[in-house]
Amino acid sequence: MPLIRTAPAAGLGTFNRILASAAAAGVLAGLLLTGVQQLQVAPIILQAEVFESAAPKPLEVAAPHSHADATPHEHAQEGAHEHGGWQPDDGLERTFYTAVANISAGVGFALLLAAAISLHGGASGWRAGLLWGAAGYTAFFVAPSVGLPPELPGTVAAPLLARQMWWTATVMASAGGLALLVFARNWPLRIAGALLLFVPHLVGSPQPAVHSSSAPPDLARSFLYATLLANAAFWLAMGALAGYCYKKFG
């Protein structure tokens, strides 16, 4: 008897059904996220960028120029969010590129949800999809945000590679833990799933040597709440749409 319930092997028709469901759900959910971001998140980011621009820059001590003693420049705020290179202009251009990024992410995440619905082989439809979306929201956003909350521009952060590795490990542990809790057939595996949810947080997320931000704490708190709500709408809508489309296209 298998320890975890799964569905029979899928054929080409099921694969096309997954792709079609993910494309429809990802595009619509990405557009929804863009709209919510423009109403709630973008104004807060613009305010934070004003504080970041007004923050005093670290002073650089001038030294005699010498090719023999030339070394790479070192900056005191190495861990701060940087905005170098090309950036889209504020307004329609910025909104357009945000929508493209959100739709791309939406299609990718919707592929995972539609594949999970197919692999499970259980009931589809928007109600079942809503539960899958809630699980995705928990694993991909809520759990990582406990250790690495969303940060405004001008916030000093830990090295990027360390944050990416911890985020990936947390997502995998959270998704695996939730899967064991819901689908495992015996209690030892379910207990292991519950423990797996806490492992990344017991290890601890990477943190900068000094915590600082150019934005006031109230603005950072508003940004956290806004991103929590925006991503909740994104994941729940995407899950419901993926479940609905998977059933409809079948």
- Nearest C-alpha neighbor of 195 from the set 209, 169, 174: 174
Residue-by-residue DSSP string for 159-193? -HHHHHHHHHHHHHHHHHHHHHHHHBSSHHHHHHH
Q: One digit per residue, pLDDT tens: the chain, 250 residues?
A: 455 444 444 455 888 999 999 999 999 999 999 999 999 999 999 999 888 887 666 544 334 444 333 333 333 333 444 444 567 766 788 899 999 999 999 999 999 999 999 988 766 799 999 999 999 999 999 999 999 999 998 899 899 999 999 999 999 999 999 999 999 999 999 999 999 999 999 999 999 988 888 889 999 999 999 999 999 999 999 999 999 999 998 7
* Residue 81 phi, psi (nearest 5): -65, 130
> Whole-angstrom Cα distance, residue 226 to residue 231?
9
Three-class SS of residue 17?
helix
Which pTM was predicted? Answer: 0.81
